[in-house]
Chains A and B, each alone.
Chain A
Amino acid sequence: MTKIAGIDLHMHSTVSDGSDTPEEILAKAKEAGLDLFALTDHDAIEGCKRIRDILTPGDPVFVNGVEFSCRDEDGKYHILGYDYDPESDYIKNVVRRGHEIRMNKARKRADFVVNELGCKIPEEEIERFLSLPNPGKPHLGNLLVKYGYARDKQQAIDEFINKAKTAREYVRPEFAIEGIKKAGGIPVLAHPVYGSGGELIMGDEMDQRLRKLISFGLEGVEAFYSEFSAKMRRQMVDFADRYSLYITAGSDYHGKNKMIALGDNGLSEVDNIFPGNMERFIRRVMHDGY
């Protein structure tokens, strides 16, 4: 059992905001000696197809993945989807909706920067930005730096891009969860303690969140995450036990765009045991058993 701890079920490629191509991710997963890995781009699944096409026997086991940014009245959530059928219209539907919202926002932001703030950025640069698979704030920020409006990407985002008013459109968690499940996949809450990234959610607040998402069909939690403390991991393992949820482990690797090592999932820490709910997840996604 210990061998399978080479797991990383949370990584991003250039298809979303990572700096490695899907092909490079595969090469690095092999190099890191992983046994099981997944690519989880934001609102995008084509990276998975690119990896699947070049897999050869003896490579680590690959699982289709995706990470949807969701939101409702109570807050924001990142919902991971695993082992779905990539040809299913259900999953494509969620991806399309996520992409649409993202494109609407990208268009609004680009429009704001160019027309309201009057930054002079050549039109072909804006077109290239809008034709990216998943144009985001960092990409636009880089343009502002390139044309001398900001010192660095962060300043560009804080002082320019975030001033743009974008429509309150979002993917609701129940919509993402339902789509993943109808495509035969497993919906899992990403980095639960950090909410959508910047929050600290523990105790009763976490309990309420989980109960709601479970009522929508959530099946797992990412209890092992590169940036969790032992206490956070313990808490999530306990919640998984309480509600019979799958447990996954992931790094949130983004290549050069975040300082997180591929394969760093918190499982190597001495205080961890290998939880039964993670074993169940692995058995399910390995299909043939192992």
Chain B
Amino acid sequence: MENINITLKGRIDSSNAPAIEQEIMAKIEDSSGAPVVIDMTDLEYISSAGLRVLLKVKKSNPDLKITNVSSEVYEILDMTGFTEMMNVEKAYKTVSVEGCEVIGIGANGTVYRIDNDTVVKAYNNADALEDIQHEREVARLALVLGLPTAISYDVVKVGDSYASVFELLNARSFTKLIIAEPDRLDWIAGEFVKLLKQIHSTVVPEGKLPSMKEKALDAAEFMRDYMPQDKYEKLVSLVKAVPESDHMVHGDYHTKNVMLQGDEVLLIDMDTLATGNPIFELAYMYNAFQGYSEYDHEQIMRFQGYDFETGTKFWHKVLSLYLGTDSDEKIREVEDKARILGYIRMIRGSIKRGGLDDTKKKEEIDMWMNELFELLDKTDSLLFTIDEIEVEATVENLKEVQAFIDEHLEKVDCPVKASMQISLAAEEIFVNIANYAYAPDKGNATVRIEVTKEPAVIITFVDQGVPYDPLAKEDPDVSLPADARKIGGLGIFLTKKTMDDVVYEYKDGSNILRMKKII
């Protein structure tokens, strides 16, 4: 159906509102039910009489859309709640990028520097407005939820398309850091993982972001026509078994999308933000560092500018830090789970781009497919656990630490009594760190958990507070009546008594307390 286009000019107030109302209503009646679009490019002012006309149009035509609203008129519409009730689009300033320095060219568009402190990201497609608005919205959400990110502060028109305006970041991407400072790879990986963990620990209000699981399920279901039935069924059931999660994932987390500005680490390119289990993120990260370059190792050089070997080394460091383990076996296990999801995404993408008709692409798809089949045979779940968490050492975070420990104890069927003893001992140690390690300042504590073949549970607490050996404390005299005992010391005493081994060491500026319980 053709839109009914109406143009409003000058001022609308009680002197001309009735006439305008009649005019608009006559147009609407003439063409039954077609969507009405009101262009306000040249409207300078609207009074309440004018607002009431809009309201009437909206009532008879619920899809009413208002475009090119000047900021003065927009302010009135916003203040009175009209922007909430009808589709209102602001007028966009036009910016010329002719002769401006090109800072970067990406798949979706080009970034220009338009003056000393401003860059615009101009999108290639003419209908980019929706994408831009989506990205602004999710970036704002991420910022509200505490993630460090750059937010575009305006949208402008560049030629026939749209662009986001950003403050110029005096920042370097992690890709550039890796190339420029290869000897700082450990530090770079550490910061990269710190931000990743922050993203994954961010809880997103319901309905604000799309679900990663749904996307993965889509990709899995796409594979129906390209895989043997039994393998296909296993794949779908593996994806289905991943629980929904309200935690954030970035969706395109690689070293070009993480920036260092001064000593602040920033996350950019937020349009893929979603919620879901972290395995989905690891899958896409695997693709960025490995998957896309498995067949042709030069690919990563073209995309990131560092070689396959560097990419692999960095990825394994990241995975090791993220999972809190040095065990190659454990790292390999989680990587394999990620690869399953990574491969189906790449295979689908390549097939959709006509990859089956190109000899080389077809070879690549076959290679991914073979890897996928092998992985499916040896994998029974896409879920994994992280063996280490780092939290701010505060009493409020005790709950989180205990939930982390409980999760692991449940997995190994720890007997109830041992589990309670471990829980009490962990509480004692963590509260000690929270109260004394950094006082009166604040700092973090790391808690690591291992289950050995013995079977035994080993929990390690690490903090960078003042050197302090809680075990050196004299055991309290428990033969005294309760009110005569000195406060403190009792918890540590109980910990030593119930655990099978407790050791303390101070190493490289860290207090390390390790306790072991045979279960």
Chain A interface (Cβ < 8 Å from any Cβ of B):
152, 154, 158, 193-195, 197-200, 202, 227, 229-232, 234, 259, 264
> Across the interface, do B19 and A154 meet the contact criterion of CB distance under 8 Å?
yes
Contacts of B82 in A (CB 8 A): 229
Known contacts A158-B15, A227-B55: A198-B80 contact under CB 8 Å:
no
For B15, give the chain A residue with the smallest CB separation: A158
Known contacts A198-B49, A259-B21: A231-B13 contact under CB 8 Å:
no
**B18 contacts the other chain (CB 8 A):** yes
**Quick one: which of A152, A194, A202 has the most chain B CB within 10 A?**
A194
> Across the interface, do A229 and B48 meet the contact criterion of CB distance under 8 Å?
no
Q: B57 → chain A, closest Cβ, in Å?
A: 10
| A-contacting residues, B1-48, CB 8 Å | 13-15, 18-19, 21, 25, 47-48
Q: A148 → chain B, closest Cβ, in Å?
A: 19
> Across the interface, do B80 and A259 meet the contact criterion of CB distance under 8 Å?
no
> Across the interface, do B52 and A231 meet the contact criterion of CB distance under 8 Å?
no
Q: B487 → chain A, closest Cβ, in Å?
A: 50
Among candidates B19, B76, B81, residue contacting A232 with C-beta atoms closer than 8 Å? B81
What are 14 pairs between A and B in contact, CB < 8 Å?
A158-B15, A193-B80, A198-B13, A198-B14, A198-B47, A198-B48, A198-B49, A202-B79, A227-B51, A227-B52, A229-B55, A229-B80, A230-B81, A264-B59
**B297 contacts the other chain (CB 8 A):** no
Given A199-B48, A229-B55, 20 more A-B residue pairs with CB atoms under 8 Å apart are: A154-B18, A154-B19, A193-B48, A195-B48, A197-B49, A198-B13, A198-B14, A198-B48, A200-B47, A202-B80, A227-B51, A229-B80, A229-B84, A230-B85, A231-B84, A232-B80, A232-B81, A234-B81, A259-B25, A264-B59
Q: B48 → chain A, closest Cβ, in Å?
A: 5
Contacts of A154 in B (CB 8 A): 18-19
The CA of A166 and the CA of B476, in the complex, are separated in Å by 97
Contacts of B485 in A (CB 8 A): none
Contacts of A198 in B (CB 8 A): 13-14, 47-49
Q: B184 → chain A, closest Cβ, in Å?
A: 52
The CA of A264 and the CA of B19, in the complex, are separated in Å by 23
Q: A255 → chain B, closest Cβ, in Å?
A: 16
Task: Write the B173-192 contact mask toward A (1 if CB under 8 angstroms, else 0).
Answer: 00000000000000000000
**B56 contacts the other chain (CB 8 A):** yes
Q: A137 → chain B, closest Cβ, in Å?
A: 12
For B14, give the chain A residue with the smallest CB separation: A198
> Across the interface, do A231 and B19 meet the contact criterion of CB distance under 8 Å?
no
For A152, give the chain B residue with the smallest CB separation: B19
The CA of A154 and the CA of B52, in the complex, are separated in Å by 17
**Closest 10 A/B residue pairs (Cβ):** A231-B81, A229-B81, A198-B14, A227-B52, A200-B48, A194-B48, A229-B85, A154-B18, A227-B55, A259-B56
For B86, give the chain A residue with the smallest CB separation: A229
For B46, give the chain A residue with the smallest CB separation: A200
Interface size class of B (residues with CB under 8 A): 20 to 34
Q: B26 → chain A, closest Cβ, in Å?
A: 12
| A-contacting residues, B46-80, CB 8 Å | 47-49, 51-52, 55-56, 59, 76, 79-80
Q: A141 → chain B, closest Cβ, in Å?
A: 11
Contacts of B18 in A (CB 8 A): 154
| A-contacting residues, B320-337, CB 8 Å | none
Contacts of B76 in A (CB 8 A): 200
The CA of A154 and the CA of B49, in the complex, are separated in Å by 14
| Main secondary structure on B side of the interface with A | helix
Q: B73 → chain A, closest Cβ, in Å?
A: 13
The CA of A197 and the CA of B49, in the complex, are separated in Å by 8
Contacts of A199 in B (CB 8 A): 48
The CA of A227 and the CA of B25, in the complex, are separated in Å by 16
The CA of A231 and the CA of B15, in the complex, are separated in Å by 26
The CA of A227 and the CA of B18, in the complex, are separated in Å by 15
Contacts of B14 in A (CB 8 A): 197-198
> Across the interface, do A200 and B80 meet the contact criterion of CB distance under 8 Å?
yes
Contacts of A264 in B (CB 8 A): 59
Q: A77 → chain B, closest Cβ, in Å?
A: 15
**Quick one: which of B15, B48, B82 has the most chain A CB within 10 A?**
B48
Q: A252 → chain B, closest Cβ, in Å?
A: 10
The CA of A195 and the CA of B52, in the complex, are separated in Å by 13
Q: B458 → chain A, closest Cβ, in Å?
A: 55
Contacts of B48 in A (CB 8 A): 193-195, 197-200
Q: A265 → chain B, closest Cβ, in Å?
A: 13
For B79, give the chain A residue with the smallest CB separation: A202
**Quick one: which of B18, B59, B76, B81 has the most chain A CB within 10 A?**
B81
The CA of A200 and the CA of B21, in the complex, are separated in Å by 19
Contacts of A259 in B (CB 8 A): 21, 25, 56
Q: A86 → chain B, closest Cβ, in Å?
A: 32
The CA of A234 and the CA of B76, in the complex, are separated in Å by 17
Q: B394 → chain A, closest Cβ, in Å?
A: 37
Among candidates B21, B55, B80, residue contacting A231 with C-beta atoms closer than 8 Å? B80
Contacts of A230 in B (CB 8 A): 81, 84-85
The CA of A231 and the CA of B78, in the complex, are separated in Å by 9
The CA of A198 and the CA of B45, in the complex, are separated in Å by 14
For A269, give the chain B residue with the smallest CB separation: B85
Contacts of B13 in A (CB 8 A): 198
The CA of A264 and the CA of B15, in the complex, are separated in Å by 25
Q: A135 → chain B, closest Cβ, in Å?
A: 20
The CA of A230 and the CA of B48, in the complex, are separated in Å by 15
Contacts of B84 in A (CB 8 A): 229-231
Contacts of B52 in A (CB 8 A): 194, 227
The CA of A202 and the CA of B48, in the complex, are separated in Å by 12
Q: B224 → chain A, closest Cβ, in Å?
A: 40
Q: A157 → chain B, closest Cβ, in Å?
A: 9
Q: B105 → chain A, closest Cβ, in Å?
A: 43
Q: A188 → chain B, closest Cβ, in Å?
A: 20
For B76, give the chain A residue with the smallest CB separation: A200
The CA of A4 and the CA of B243, in the complex, are separated in Å by 44
Contacts of A195 in B (CB 8 A): 48
The CA of A194 and the CA of B76, in the complex, are separated in Å by 13
Contacts of A227 in B (CB 8 A): 51-52, 55
Contacts of A158 in B (CB 8 A): 15
For B55, give the chain A residue with the smallest CB separation: A227
